[in-house]
Chain A
Amino acid sequence: MIPVQFDYAAPATLDEALSLLAEHKDDAKLLAGGHSLLPAMKLRLAMPQMLISLGRIKDLAYIREEDGQIRIGAMTTHHQLESSDRLREICPLLPETAGTIGDVQVRNLGTIGGSLAHADPAADWPAAIIALGAEIVAVGAGGKRIIKADDFFVDMLTTALDPGEILSEIRIPAPQGRTGQAYLKVPQPASGFAVVGVAVNLTLNGGGACESAGIAITGVASKAYRASAVEGAIAGNALDEQTITDAASHATDGIDANGDLYASEEYRRHLAQVYTRRAIETAAARVK
């Protein structure tokens, strides 16, 4: 499987990449880790005439703490996120999610920015990013803008990024207080992608009741979504078994669930409820 011919550029700066993108418009594609784009190009589902690699741009791969936020460069690999001891301490949902993606080799090259920009409906990062209430930084010719994770995913393989924009950073509010997090996933046995993936980010108050909950689900619909009905059903309540089970039964409320050869629509809804319950239980048990 050989992709069609294309021209290639590996600019050294983000500005150069932006002007190349402006010059070549719809004929161009950005290349990050290539682990969604190359397979698509081999199948000739993607046929860019100009490939602009972000791989030579310095300082797009980092994990920083600034202004009460965790800031992650777009080119940070799944592996770098999986193996960060600091993240394990302050936001374990990120390394936990990273560790479930594909396999070792995929995690060594695939990037968080590439995954978010690609917006595969069964990708893992979108759930974590929504549950954490992240913001996405997009740079374009006109400068920087911030897009809330909730508004970033528009539809299957479609995001709020403009064609001339580059996703440069992901900003996550650093978890404060008594928090517990979990990412639980049913992997498709062949591809590793999520049949259902549930990310949970809980904060408890002094009395042990749920102060706030971020819960998001991937794999079920055409895009990852915030499970607002579940969040609403646990917020303010003590997290006993009955409350969690009742809340989780709302996992697919108002959602158009997908069915495919591997998992029917009904089975996906069932899995979403079971895994939402388990993910909340796991996150609650991890509260420190």
Chain B
Amino acid sequence: MAKIAISVKVNGVEHTAEVEPRLLLVHFIREALRLTGTHIGCDTSHCGACTVVLDGRAVKSCTVFAVQADGREILTVEGLEHEGKLHPLQEGFFQEHGLQCGYCTPGMLMTGFAFLNSNTAPTEDEIRHAISGNLCRCTGYVNIVKAYQYAAEKIREGGTQ
């Protein structure tokens, strides 16, 4: 079975690789690129821990083949920080205690990144709807919602997104 050459831009950096068609995007990111911030929780498309932003939209990277990402652009949690400065969402999770064990956090951040790109004044209901594909077994979600609100306010005040 032939390997396929792909070229994918991840966090602004172009990567080329020869991959087996069956290689999952999440394994490509974690094992080929060694970007282990993206987590694998369920491996069954349900928990959202593996969420990355693909061409601007949040997707579960355990349910995408790496070959499908050929020619496309990906942002992972490692790409959120900008020149040593945390993204408003990262700051929000820190300030509002939006994590406990941290397992779900990279996925929560990437879902939030794509969401706040299209809505910088979300209601609590909209936030809860937006994170319905991301499970957290620790926080009870309340502080995650607060972290999103914190970030939204920062972005409205002119913080970077």
Contact = CB atoms under 8 A, between A and B. Distances in A.
A and B physically associate: yes
Interface residues of B, number: 32
A109 B43 CA distance: 17
A214 B54 CA distance: 38
A104 B132 contact: yes
A23 to B, nearest CB: 15
B68 interface: yes
A10 B48 contact: no
B63 A35 contact: yes
Contact of A39 (B63, B131, B134): B63
A59 interface: no
B21 A79 contact: no
Nearest to B2: A7
A102 B133 contact: yes
A35 B65 CA distance: 11
A106 B2 contact: no
A12 interface: no
A267 interface: no
B55 to A, nearest CB: 10
A108 B115 CA distance: 12
Interface string B21-50: 110100000000000000000011110100
A2 B22 CA distance: 7
B136 interface: no
Contacts of A190: 46
A38 B65 contact: yes
Interface in B95-128: 111, 115
Contact of B63 (A4, A55, A109): A109
Nearest to B48: A105
B18 interface: no
A79 B59 CA distance: 12
B43 A8 contact: no
Of A5, A42, A190, A191, most buried by chain B (CB within 10 Å of CB) is A42
Given A10-B70, A38-B65, A106 B133 contact: yes
A51 interface: yes
Given A38-B64, A39-B63, A42-B43, A104 B58 contact: yes
Given A38-B64, A104-B115, A109-B59, 4 more contacts: A8-B4, A38-B45, A104-B111, A105-B51
Interface of A: 1-8, 10, 31, 34-35, 38-39, 41-42, 51, 53, 55, 79, 102-106, 108-109, 190-191
Closest A-B pairs by Cβ, 6 of them: A103-B133, A8-B21, A108-B57, A5-B1, A105-B133, A105-B60
